[in-house]
Amino acid sequence: MSVTQPVLSIRGLTVRFGGLVAINALDLDVTPGHIFALVGPNGAGKTTVLNCISGFVQPGEGRITFEGADLLPLGRDRRAALGIARTFQNLQLFASMTVLDNLLVAQHAHLRTGLFAGLVSIGRSVREDAAARCRARETLALLDLERYVSQPAGSLPFGMQQLVGVARALVLRPRLLLLDEPAAGMPHVEVEKLAASLRRWRDELSTTLVLIEHNMPLVQSAADTVCVLDYGRKLAEGAPDTVLKDAAVLEAYLGRRAVSEEGSGHAEG
């Protein structure tokens, strides 16, 4: 039986901020075409892991490979060119621009025709612009955001702005999508839709997702694998139904409140 090689592999990842060890000798493997959820309390190191993968933080020790390529010597642009995209907790949208224009700006750096070349070759520029608009509209349809296409991004409710941030990353058709708390600020009904959307993106776009999330129903519904971090170390890893019922996880991550209120749907932190 053939063994599927991980699309993303992390070995011995260690990050220190002064005297604080944010990530401590972490090993992770992410299977292609899976949704891999990183959970844990605030300060557990989850966002630091995403920052190391995407190139915003350089680890002190360890190795990160994506589809066999060593990421650590590469800058953020090179990693993006390999097919890695991410969202952020601080959305960084262009608030006064329309939702459509936010997605067009995201694609600008990936267009082959630059400004000067566009002046020389109007035909190619027009074709690329049309393709970018088509891809943007397809992506908005995938997230059920078509009705907001002409609205300023900053005028939308926060939960919808979260989805626009996801759309801006997804429009690049990444092979690896890193999502930092995409359900933050969303009402329950929208979270249920998001879980279905995550699975659809995974299946229809052949995208591998690494997800940071505090909303446990979303994690249970969408994730193939869950990894629990605690003080920068891996506490548990496996299928959601197994990991999220583990006694050590309930005590260290969810805490006494979650044990007494299990099933309430959302963990603090």
pLDDT in tens, 112-162: 545 455 445 566 667 778 889 999 999 999 888 999 999 999 999 888 898
Which of these three, 105, 138, 173, is where a domain ends? Answer: 173
**Does residue 9 fall inside a structural domain?**
yes
The boundaries of the domain holding residue 68 are 1-83+174-269
pLDDT tens per residue across span 172-216: 899 999 999 988 878 888 888 888 889 988 888 889 999 999 888
**Percentage of the chain modeled with pLDDT above 90:** 54
Q: Does 215 lie in the same domain as 268?
A: yes
**Does residue 89 fall inside a structural domain?**
no
Which of these three, 150, 173, 196, is where a domain ends? Answer: 173
Q: Does 238 lie in the same domain as 167?
A: no
Q: Does 159 lie in the same domain as 112?
A: yes
Which of these three, 140, 173, 206, is where a domain ends? Answer: 173
Q: Does 134 lie in the same domain as 52?
A: no
Q: Does 77 lie in the same domain as 1?
A: yes
Q: Does 181 lie in the same domain as 129?
A: no
Residue 118 has φ and ψ, to the nearest 5°, of -65, -35
Q: Does 101 lie in the same domain as 201?
A: no
Domain count, the chain: 2
